[in-house]
Structure 1
Amino acid sequence: MATLGYLVGLAYIQNPFSSVSLKIFFSSFWLTFGIAIYLLRRKNKVMLTMRNKGEMASSKMLTLGIISFIGGVITSWIGNGIDVMFFCALILIFSESESIATASAVVVMSLISIFSTIINFSTGNYSTHTLEYLSATIPIVIFFAPLGIMYATKRGDLFIRKLLLLIVTIQYLVVASTY
């Protein structure tokens, strides 16, 4: 659904936000989510529910599909979004741990990145500047994303939660002070 959302966002849904308002919205969304997760997990040390992992309610699957579609549209506008939406859904709807949600969100983001790169290259929607950025980031992402996931997973969910809150707070403060 994320790839469909990406295509629809790219072809049919014009980004209604200015660059500034989109950055502020996205930073605020991340910060709100980080605080919500921290407060939920702090109150209830183990919020994870016992359930049969093989059985998933169709309503939850539909919700995940809608969230993935919206995340795909947002990704078509700003280059990311599905990872955040997917991470949020896994924790808040499916009660997954931060370790599982982090690894899953990285995989989903890498898949949509590959898909969007193929689409943009096949339609000629790129510049030489884009190619320079891409060639600089690919080696770093390929090497450090798996290492980061392994490191964070070994440190545990509390570490991921605190790191997430620290990063989103810094991001929000930087964006807020810029505008």
Structure 2
Amino acid sequence: MSDSSKRVFKIFGLPVIAVYIIWFSYMFISENWHVFTEYFYMTITMMFGSFVAGASSEGGGAVAFPVMTLLFDIHPKEARDFSLAIQSIGMTAASLWIIARKVKVNKEYLKFGLVGGTLGIILGTYFVAPYTAPAYAKMLFVSFWLSFGITLYIVNRNTKRFVREELPDLSTYQQFELLFIALVGGVLSAILGNGVDICTFAFITMKYNLSEKIATPTSVMLMAANAVVGFLLHQFVLQDIQPVVYNYWMVSIPVVMLGAPFGAYMISNAQRMHIVNFLCGIIVIQFIGAMLIIRPTGPLLYFSLASFLLGVVLFFLLTRSARAEQAVLEE
């Protein structure tokens, strides 16, 4: 066995095997196999969701939350708690694979994202999530990120777009700016089950033109840590996770342990534009599904439109800043 293979087995293989042994032992002792019959649809959902978790900045919750709330009519709180629980397993596995394979990430982005995201999910859990109406949470999620998907696609149609492999030296103000964006993303994670990954990813790629190929695995590691914090908070501090969420969790663990790392493997070997197109496609599908199922009218429709327009303005300002920097570099 080569040194590289030994590293992968030690950092990634052993923890994955350990989780499978613990999961199988629990299922065998508790004779809980019947949950697969009742909740098989979650296993199927997370086959795709775990791949997305490892392969994009959206996270597994980006699939789990809308599918559970929109298609299966599961309460947003249960969907949120499940998203955090399953991402704490799947995206952690993907993160271990990224570390084991030495996939390039941006440490500065990760550092400030971890601090801001942790603070955000704690504050959001206590002071924001309990007061957020479910339907508005759903439409905020899909409407705001639709604006990002459209902006990302348009920006990347410019074949001369400047893309950097490293972040520039950030000033103190820029560091606090990134910290604040991560904090906002952490609040969204507290409401929706994910958010710090796509929030910071959008900011970093739009404002600083960091390559999506580097920003994606960094955001995967960031969301893994955010999910662990959120899950532990609900599990041991608030102790408010509903029993059915554990059933969703049990039927999904065996697929996400390999699905998320497989997504990370595929995206590490993909071209940058493949990552962009994949992410944009996910965002558009989410939005269309929400519109067809929720069919927002009245105040909810106006709120959705406002969320979309707010995103357009914010992302336009970020890309404008990036274009100004590119013009300076070309002079």
Q: TM-score, normalised by structure 2?
A: 0.50
Q: Using the TM superposition, give the Cα deviation of residue 154 of structure 1 relative to its aligned residue in structure 2, in angstroms.
A: 1.2
Specify the code of the residue in structure 1 equivalent to 2:218.
S
List runs of 5+ in structure 2 lacking aligned partners.
Answer: 1-115, 295-331
Quick one: distance in 1 between partners of 2:262 and 2:224? 15
Supply the RMSD in Å over aligned alpha carbons. Answer: 1.9
Describe the superposition over 1:55-80 as per-residue Cα deviations: whole angstroms up to 9, x where unpaired: 22222211110011111111111211
Deviation at 1:49, TM superposition (A): 4.3
| 2:166 aligned with 1:60 | no
* Number of residue-to-residue matches in the alignment: 178
- 1:14 deviation in Å? 4.5
Q: Percent identity?
A: 25
Q: Secondary structure at the match of 1:42?
A: coil
1:119 counterpart residue number: 233
Q: Pick one of 219, 222, 226 that aligns with 1:108.
A: 222
How is 1:10-159 mapped onto 2 (pairs within 5 angstroms)? 10-49=125-164, 53=167, 55-123=169-237, 124-159=239-274
Contact map agreement 1:60 1:93 (CA 8 A) in 2: no
1:85-132 deviations in whole A, cap 9, x for unaligned?
A: 021122112321111121111111111111111111112121211111
Alpha-carbon distance between aligned partners in 1 of 2:152 and 2:192, rounded to the nearest angstrom = 24
Question: What is the alpha-carbon distance in structure 2 between the residues aligned to residue 44 and residue 57 of structure 1?
Answer: 29
Q: 1:101 to 1:50 in 2, by over 3 A?
A: closer
State which drifts further: 134-143 or 97-106: 134-143
Query: Deviation of residue 15 (structure 1)?
Result: 4.8
Query: Which amino acid is the alignment partner of residue 33 of structure 1?
Result: F
Conserved 8 A contact 2:165-2:210: no
Post-superposition Cα deviations, 1:33-72, rounded to whole Å, max 9, x if no partner, equal 0110111111244321487x47222222111100111111
- Indicate the SS of the match to 2:254: helix
**Secondary structure class of the residue paired with 1:43:** coil
Structure 1: gaps of 5 or more residues: none
Alpha-carbon distance in structure 2 between the residues aligned to 1:159 and 1:50? 17
Provide runs of 4+ in structure 1 moved above 4 Å: none
Quick one: structure 1 residues 80 and 25, their matched pair in 2 at CA, closer, same or farther if it must change by over 3 Å? same
Question: 2:69 corresponds to which residue?
Answer: none
Counterpart-to-counterpart distance in 1, 2:155 and 2:220: 23
In structure 1, what residue type is equivalent to 2:264?
A: I
What amino acid maps onto 1:88 in structure 2?
A
CA distance change for structure 1 residues 50 and 101 in 2, over 3 Å: closer, same or farther?
Answer: closer
TM-score (norm 1): 0.89
CA change 1:164–1:58 in 2 (3 A) is same
